Amino acid sequence: MTLSLLNDDHYMREALKQARYALAEDEIPIGAVVVLERQIIARAYNQTEKLRDVTAHAEMLALTAAANHVGNKYLADCTLYVTVEPCVMCAGATAWAQVRRVVYGADEPKVGYRRHGHLLHPRAEVVSGVLAEESSQLLREFFARKRKS
């Protein structure tokens, strides 16, 4: 396995930790981290229920925290790791922030951005399927709990 893939696994595990925080708070379990120069500069998880804010997706919160960390709205040297394929809103935000690389775990066939074409920054590299099964399992667990209640 290449060094890049090993690093992707490492950072995705950190995003999965964030997703587990969301699950513990009865939020859709999606987590995200932003990495700059091999350092995590932002961590977040979905908080739409907690904050009563439809835009409080893990990616949006992580991008805001990363921008605050670097003191700039552009994150051109950053990689966003997110456990599930970003939605249209989050994909658009990564494009506006000029995120260089987006790495996600599970595909999202219903509301993922890929249903609508390439919405990321034109130079963005996309890597999908990193720890996808672990990400999907958290979603299955969340929705199974919801069906029972």
Give catalytic residue positions: 59
Residues 58 and 40 sit within 8 Å (Cβ to Cβ): no
Which of 61, 56, 29 is closest to 43 using CA atoms?
61
The Cα–Cα gap between 11 and 95 comes to 21
- Full DSSP string of 65-104: HHHHHHTSS--TTEEEEEEE--BHHHHHHHHHTT-SEEEE
- Is 78 labelled as part of a ligand binding site? no
Annotated binding-site members: 57, 87, 90
Annotated binding-site members for Zn(2+): 57, 87, 90
